[in-house]
Amino acid sequence: MNLSRRQFLKLTTSGIGATSLGALGFAPDRVLADVRNFKLASTTQTRNTCPYCSVGCGILMYGLGDRSKNARLRLVHIEGDPDHPVNRGTLCPKGASLLDFVNSPHRLKFPEYRAPGSSEWQRVTWEWALDRIARLMKDDRDKNFIAKNAAGVPVNRWTSVGMLAASASSNESGYLTHKVFRAMGMTALDNQARV
Amino acid sequence: MTNHWADIKNANVIIVMGGNPAEAHPCGFKWVTEAKAHNKARLIVVDPRFTRTAAVADQFVQIRPGTDIAFLGGVMNYLLSNDAIQHDYVKAYTNASFIVRADFTFDDGLFSGYDEAGRKYDKASWTYELGPDGFAKVDPTLQDPRCVYQLLKKHYSRYTPEMVSSITGAKQEEFLQVCKTIASTAPADRTMTSLYALGWTQHSVGSQNIRSMAMIQLLLGNMGMAGGGVNALRGHSNIQGLTDLGVLSDLLPGYLTIPKETDKDLDAYLAPRTLKPLRPGQMSYWQNYPKFFVSLQKAWWGEAATKENQFAYEYLPKLDKLYDLLAVFDLMHQGKVNGYICQGFNPLASAPNKAKVIDGLSKLKFLVVIDPLVTETSTFWRNAGEFNPVEPSKIETEVFRLPSTCFAEEDGSLTNSSRWLQWHFKGAEPPGEAKTDLEIVGELFGRIRRLYAKEGGTFPDPIVKLTWPYAIASAPSAEEVAREYNGWALADLPDPKDKTKILVKRGDQLTTFGQLTDDGSTAAGCWIYTGSYTDKNNMARRETADPSGLGLAPAWAWAWPLNRRVLYNAASCDPTGKPWDPRRTLVKWNGEKWVGADVPDFKVDQPPESGMAPFIMNPEGVGRLFGADKMAEGPFPEHYEPFESPLARNPMHEKPVASTNPAARIYAEDKAALGTAEHFPYAATTYRLTEHFHFWTKHARIPAVLQPEQFVEIGEALAKEKGIRDGERIKVRSNRGEIVAKAVVTKRIRPLTVAGKTVHTVGIPIHWGFEGLTKPGYLANTLTPFVGDANVQTPEFKAFLVNVEKLGVA
C-alpha cells in the first residue's frame, strides 16, 4: 500500500498512531526515515486561500495550538492544498512565502496617530482613535452634506470624505463597508478594481 | 472570467495579450501548460515585452505599448475578409443582422454625435432601426448595407496588414501567422481562449481593448464554449468580489447602479434600467431589476424601506458626476476633500502621478489608514530622502493608522477570477491589537450611529435606520454578513405555480435570485450572490469531483451566478439545443428541459425552437458586435494613440482631436503635464515580477530577498545608443517626475519600426517604495500620467513616454 505523506498524516491525525501504522507496513519512507517526529504532526491544520492574485489557490496553514481557549494559535507552516482543483498543491514564489507576510516585522500591531506637522507616530488606544475618527466624520458630514442640488432636487450626497476599500479583504468586509459608507451618503467610494 | 481557470485546458488556441500569467498568475498558468501538453493547444503571446509567458509560447509577437486595438482590428479584418467566422453562430447569436440607424456615421476617427468642447458623444444615433412593433429591424441575409455585419466589415477594412504593422511595429508575416492560428478556431469544434489582465485595462482605451477580443470571440463562436471565452485575470485575490459587491463610486451590489440626480424618484430610476426585450421572445433578464433593487433596499433598511416611501430610495446618494479614484484625487488636489479612508489600499503607490497624490493627501484634514502592513500612504508625510522628499512640518494632515488582520487571521470568502466564492477559515491569532475589518467597520459605524442618535445632525435617517441584525453589534461575524448578502424571505413566499403552497418560509435563506420580489417580501444584499449561503455555507464546499472531465469541479466552493461555471453556456449549443461540439458538452436540450454538467445559463424549460437567444442579459438576446450606446467612445473599437505617444499623430486619422481617445476625460493641469516625443522619446510600460505582489511582498522576507532592488529594463539597442551598461544606475524621467534605478539590459525588448521611425520601449517594474524590507526605491507612479480609460477611468499605466539618462557606475 502506497501512502502519500498527506494521506499518512490524515490517518495519523484521525486517531491511529503512527507506530501502529508502521507496524502494519504502511510506512511512508519520507516520514519514518526521519528520527524526529514530523513537525506538522502536532499542529492544527486550517484551510485558507492565498490573498495575492486572483487564481485563489487553496492553502493549508499549520499552527501551533489546538484551538483551546487559552492557546494562542501561531502559524508555523503554509503550503498548497493538494485537493484544490486549480493549484493542486502548488504555489508560486509569493504564495510559497506567505508565512513571511503573516509574520512580517512590518505588521501593524497597535493603533497609531500622527499629529499635524509631526514627524512621528504615537501609540494610541482603539477607543481614542475610533472616537476621534467618528467625531471628525460626523462633524464633516453634518457640515458638508448636500441634501438638495441647485434645482432643489433631493440628492443626499456626502462628497467631502472618501474611501478606498480593500480588494484583498473578504466579501463580507467589502459588503459591510459598502453598506455602512453608502448609508452615510458617501459618493467617493472605490476599490482597486478602478486601478 | 466568462469561463474559469481549469477550463483553459479545453482550448485549442490560447491567446495572451495584455497579461503575463506565467509570472503574475503562475498557478493558473499551469492550465495553459496542461492545454499544450494534452490538448495540443497553441499559445500565442502578443506583448511589448518577451515575458516568461512568451518564453513558452508557440508564437510571440512584440508590439508597441497601447496598440492592441490596431492589432485586433487587423485580426477582425482578416477573419471577415477571409470569411473565417462561424456563420451559424454569428447569424443566430450576435447582432450581425441588426439594422443600424441611418444617421450613425464614422468619419476620420469620430463617430456621429461628437461634442468636442465637452469631449463626449451624443449617442442618439448609435442604435438600431426600430420597426413599428418597437423591435429592432434585422436582415437575416446580412446583405443590407446598414446591417451590423456590413458596417463591421467596412469599419475594419481599414485595418490592413500594412496599417497594423505600421502602427504596432509587428512584422506583417508575424501578424498574419497569428491571424491564421486564431482563424483556425472558427470551426464549431475548435475554440480559442483569451487571457488578459492589467496590460489591457490600464489604457485610455482599456475597455475597448477587451471589447475587441469579445467581438473576435463572437465571430469565431467561442463565447459560452468550454475552452473559449474572454477571461480577465484579475489583479487581486478579491477584486472580483469587491466589483461584484459594487464597492465603486457609481455602482451598487450586483451591478446595479447608483442613481443620478436626474433620476428624481424610484420610478424614474427603475424605468431606464428595467430593460424590455428588443427582439420578440427574448428574455432580457434585466427586466427583473426592480426585484434586485428592492431586495437590496430591504437588506439595508429593513422595515424603514416601505412601498410608501419608495423603499427608502431617498436614502441613497444621487450622483451629479463621477467620483472615481482619479476624479477624487483631483478634487483632493483642489482642496475639496477633507477626509479619506484607505482600507487595505495604498493609493500613493497605485494612483498615477505621485507628486499630485502627495499634494492631495497633504491637503486633507484627516487620513485614516486601515492595513495589516506599513504602507507608503500611511507615511506619506515622512521624509524618506530622495524617495519621498517631503517636509513633515508643512503637512497638516492628521493621520490615523489602524492595524487589521490578514487572511490567515479571519473567516470569510474571496471571489477568484473564476467567480468562485471560496470560504476560508481563521488559523491564527492576529498580532498585537489588530482587529478584523468587520470589527473596525462595525465599531466605527456604532460610534457614528450613537452620535447621531444622541445629537441628531444632518439627515440621520439612513444611518440610524440601517439594519444591523448582528449578534454582537460592534463585531458582525462573517457568517452573519454572508447570510445577509445571500438574502432571506421576509414573508412566506408562495409557489408561483401553485399559490396554495409555500415555496420559501418567512425567515428562511433564499436559494436562487429567481425567488426575489419587488414588493418588499425578500431581502438580499447582492442578488448575484444569492445561493452562496442557503441552509448551509456553499462557499465552504470542498468536493473535488469533476464528473464531466471539463474541469468544472461543480461542488468545490460556489460560483456566481447560481453555481454556473461557464457564462453564456447555452451558446455552446446550436439553435436546436444540440452542443456545437459533443466533446465540449456543458449543457443541452433533452426535449423537455436544459440539462448538463454545468448549470444552464437559460430559462430551464424554454425550448430552443422558441427563438430565445442565449445572451439573456442583453435585451437583444444576442452578443453585440455593434456596441450600440454602451461605450463612451463608440460602438466599434477604434485605434487611438496613448495620451503620450511616440508618434506626432495617429496614422489612421487626420483630425488632431481623434489622435487620442476623444471621449477620455483629462483635466487641464494633467494635460499640461503630458510629455512629448521630442523630450521623452521612449515608449514606457509598467509591469509586475513573479517574485512580488504589488507593494506588500517587499515587507515579506523571502520575496524581499529574491528581488531586493529596483531596476528598469531597456533593450540592447537602446543601451548601446546611450552607452549604458548592464547593472549601471540610470535616471528615467517623464514630464511628471524622475526615478533612478539599475538598468537591466535585455534582449527581451527590441526596438520596433513604427510609422517609419524607430521606437524603443522601456519596462518599469512597480514593486519598490520607501517602506519595506527591500532596498528603498522610487514609487513607479512618480512617472505615470493622470489620465484614464474613457469608460471606467482606469489610469494609463501601460503606455506613456519617458527619457533615460546615463548616471554613472553604482
Q: Read out DSSP for B325-347?
A: HHHHHHHHHTT---EEEEES--H
Could you report the per-residue pLDDT of B343-400, keeping only the tens digit for each? 999 999 999 999 999 999 999 999 999 999 999 999 999 999 999 999 999 999 999 9
Pick from B341, B344, B455, B436: nearest CA to B398: B341
Asked if A86 lies within 8 A of B397 by C-beta distance, the reply is: no
The pLDDT of residue B809 is 53
ipTM of predicted assembly, 2 dp: 0.98
The pLDDT of residue A14 is 45
Give, for B503, the enclosing helix (H) or strand (E). strand B498-504
How far apart (Å, rounded) are the C-alpha atoms in residues B766 and B558?
34
Asked if B242 lies within 8 A of A166 by C-beta distance, the reply is: yes
Q: Residue B782 — φ and ψ, nearest 5°?
A: -55, -30
The pLDDT of residue A38 is 78
B788, B794 Cβ separation under 8 angstroms: yes
Longest CA–CA separation in chain A, Å: 86
B475, exposed or middle or buried, with CB in 10 Å at 0-12, 13-18, 19+? middle
Phi-psi region of B737 (alpha: psi -120 to 50; beta: other; left: phi over 0): left
Q: In B, which residues are within 8 Å of A154 by CB distance?
A: 314, 318
The pLDDT of residue A36 is 72
CATH architecture of B325-450: 3-Layer(aba) Sandwich (3.40)
How far apart (Å, rounded) are the C-alpha atoms in residues B282 and B610?
9
* A42/B contact by beta carbon, under 8 A: no
B689, B707 Cβ separation under 8 angstroms: yes
Asked if B241 lies within 8 A of A109 by C-beta distance, the reply is: no
Strand partners, B124: none
Take residue B233 and report the three cell numbers written for it: 485575470
How far apart (Å, rounded) are the C-alpha atoms in residues B218 and B767?
37
Asked if B27 lies within 8 A of A187 by C-beta distance, the reply is: no
Asked if B347 lies within 8 A of A164 by C-beta distance, the reply is: yes
Q: Which of A113, A147, A195 comes nearest B400 by C-beta?
A: A113
How far apart (Å, rounded) are the C-alpha atoms in residues B508 and B493?
10
pLDDT at A8 over 50: no
Asked if A110 lies within 8 A of B551 by C-beta distance, the reply is: no
* A93/B contact by beta carbon, under 8 A: yes
Pick from B663, B792, B796, B670: nearest CA to B249: B792
- Residue ranges of domains in chain B: 5-237, 325-450, 664-808
Give, for B251, the enclosing helix (H) or strand (E). strand B251-252
Q: Which residue has the cell 514593486?
A: B767
Q: In A, which residues are within 8 Å of B246 by CB distance?
A: 178
Take residue B572 and report the three cell numbers written for it: 455552446
Q: Which of A171, A185, A186 comes nearest B412 by C-beta?
A: A171
How far apart (Å, rounded) are the C-alpha atoms in residues B772 and B759?
35
Q: In A, which residues are within 8 Å of B474 by CB distance?
A: none
Pick from A161, A93, A105: nearest CA to B339: A161
The pLDDT of residue A67 is 78
The pLDDT of residue A68 is 80
How far apart (Å, rounded) are the C-alpha atoms in residues B723 and B706?
28
Q: In sequence order, which ranges of B507-640 are alpha helices (DSSP H)?
A: none
The pLDDT of residue A27 is 53
Q: Which of A56, A74, A188 comes nearest B323 by C-beta?
A: A188
Asked if A119 lies within 8 A of B396 by C-beta distance, the reply is: no
Closest residue in B to A169 (Cα) is: B238
The rounded radius of gyration (Å) of the Cα atoms in chain A is 25
How far apart (Å, rounded) are the C-alpha atoms in residues B448 and B453?
9
Taking 50 as the pLDDT cut, the residues of chain B under it are 810
How far apart (Å, rounded) are the C-alpha atoms in residues A178 and A194?
15
The pLDDT of residue A6 is 54
- Residue B272: CB atoms within 10 Å: 12
pLDDT at A3 over 80: no
Q: In B, which residues are within 8 Å of A86 by CB distance?
A: 5-6, 27-28, 31, 416, 418
Res. A41 pLDDT band, cuts 50 70 90: confident
Class of B5-237 in CATH: alpha beta
Q: Which of A117, A170, A186 comes nearest B238 by C-beta?
A: A170
* A71/B contact by beta carbon, under 8 A: no
Take residue B411 and report the three cell numbers written for it: 473567516
Could you report the per-residue pLDDT of A105-136, keeping only the tens digit for each? 999 999 999 999 999 999 999 999 999 999 99
How far apart (Å, rounded) are the C-alpha atoms in residues B313 and B268?
11
Q: Which residue has the cell 531597456?
A: B714
Give how far B224 is from chain A: nearest CA, Å. Answer: 20
**Which amino acid appears at position B469 of this protein?**
P
**Which amino acid appears at position B722 of this protein?**
K
Q: In B, which residues are within 8 Å of A180 by CB distance?
A: 441, 444-445, 466
- Beta strands, E only, B612-736: 682-687, 711-715, 729-734
Pick from B40, B13, B59: nearest CA to B195: B13
B318, B261 Cβ separation under 8 angstroms: yes
Q: In B, which residues are within 8 Å of A130 by CB distance?
A: 440, 443-444, 447
B91, B591 Cβ separation under 8 angstroms: no
How far apart (Å, rounded) are the C-alpha atoms in residues B626 and B76?
13
Q: Which is it for strands B106-107 and B59-62: parallel, antiparallel or unpaired? A: unpaired
What sign does the dihedral B125-B130-B136-B140 (CA atoms) show?
Answer: negative
Strand partners, B472: none
Phi-psi region of B111 (alpha: psi -120 to 50; beta: other; left: phi over 0): beta
Class of B664-808 in CATH: mainly beta
Asked if B247 lies within 8 A of A177 by C-beta distance, the reply is: yes
pLDDT at A4 over 60: no
Ordered by where they begin, the domains of chain A are 1-42 (no CATH), 47-107 (2.20.25.90), 108-144 (no CATH), 146-195 (no CATH)
How far apart (Å, rounded) are the C-alpha atoms in residues B652 and B636?
15
What sign does the dihedral A156-A159-A160-A161 (CA atoms) show?
Answer: positive
How far apart (Å, rounded) are the C-alpha atoms in residues B463 and B301?
9
The answer for residues whose C-beta is within 8 angstroms of residue B253's C-beta and 6 or more apart is A175, A178, B244, B245, B246, B296, B485, B525, B526, B527, B529
pLDDT at A28 over 80: no
The better pLDDT of the pair A2, B3 is held by B3
Q: In A, which residues are within 8 Å of B482 by CB distance?
A: 171-172
Q: In sequence order, which ranges of chain A are alpha helices (DSSP H)?
A: 5-13, 18-23, 29-32, 93-96, 98-102, 126-144, 171-183
DSSP notation for B68-79: HHHHHHHHHHHH
pLDDT at A22 over 50: no
The pLDDT of residue B298 is 98
The answer for residues whose C-beta is within 8 angstroms of residue A138's C-beta and 6 or more apart is B448, B451, B452, B455, B457
Task: Give the 3-state secondary structure of residue B263.
Answer: coil
DSSP notation for B342-358: EES--HHHHSS-HHHHH
* A129/B contact by beta carbon, under 8 A: yes
Pick from B175, B158, B148: nearest CA to B75: B175
Separation of first and last alpha carbons in chain B: 44
- Residue B518: CB atoms within 10 Å: 18
Give how far B352 is from chain A: nearest CA, Å. Answer: 9
Query: Is this prediction's pTM over 0.90?
Result: yes
A–B interface: beta-carbon pairs under 8 A? 483
How far apart (Å, rounded) are the C-alpha atoms in residues B242 and B485?
13
B44, B181 Cβ separation under 8 angstroms: yes
Q: What letter does residue A118 receive in the DSSP assignment?
A: -
Take residue B89 and report the three cell numbers written for it: 453562430
Take residue B652 and report the three cell numbers written for it: 489612421
Strand partners, A142: none
Angle at B175 between CA B173 and CA B181, to 5 degrees: 100
In angstroms, how far is CA B724 from the centroid of its own chain?
38
